[in-house]
Amino acid sequence: MRASRALTVALAVGAAVGLAAPTAVAGGPSTSGPTNVEVDPSVVHQGATLRITARGCQNGGRVSSNAFDEVHLSSGDINFATARIHDHTTPGEYQLAVKCRDNDRVATRSFRVLEGRGADGGLGGAAGPSDTEMAVGGALVGTAAIGGALFVARRRRQDVRV
């Protein structure tokens, strides 16, 4: 009789584990929701762009905030989105919300908006002078050299007469 009770308990446990397995697989990494949400930079000026990185949204998702229009999150192991802060956004602290396409969980992250447009850094030396700029620069250097030579030659003639 003890063997039959043990067999019944073993069958019940096996059935419970067997029925729970599909649920555990369905709740795997693709539906766990967004994690490791990062904002770069965390302090931005009005009109600047913000780069959002997250994990856990295998099928992509969306990012929303009061400071910018909703943007789409890329799919894959690491998810990316770029948002442009509105020019008229009031300076202060803001939250963004990341939501995966296949899950209702939401992850939030804060960032700060500063007043003004920030510094225009230009190209940072990445672009060299054009052919036109080189020609103009060469002409100016040549003109300065000729003018300097004429000035020295004329001055020398005046010194000889004295």
Q: Which amino acid is at 43?
A: V
Half-sphere exposure at residue 32, Cβ-oriented, CA atoms within 13 angstroms: 12
List, for residues 62-78, the tens digit of each pLDDT value: 999 999 999 999 999 99
- pLDDT tens, residue by residue, 36-71: 999 999 999 999 999 999 999 999 999 999 999 999
Does pTM top 0.85 for this prediction?
no
> Domains in the chain, ordered, with CATH?
28-114 (2.60.40.1930)
pLDDT-derived band of residue 130, with 50, 70 and 90 as boundaries? confident
Q: Report the share of the chain in percent with pLDDT over 90.
A: 47
DSSP state of 31: G
| Beta carbons within 8 Å of 22's beta carbon, 6+ residues apart | none
Written as one string, the DSSP assignment of 101-142 is TT---EEEEEEEEESS-----TTTT-S---HHHHHHHHHHHH
Q: What is the mean pLDDT of residues 94-106?
A: 92
pLDDT over 60 (residue 34): yes
Average pLDDT of the chain? 80
Q: What is the pLDDT of residue 148?
A: 85
Q: How far apart are CA 71 and CA 60, in angstroms?
A: 11
For residue 95, the number of C-alpha atoms closer than 13 Å in the C-beta half-sphere is 5
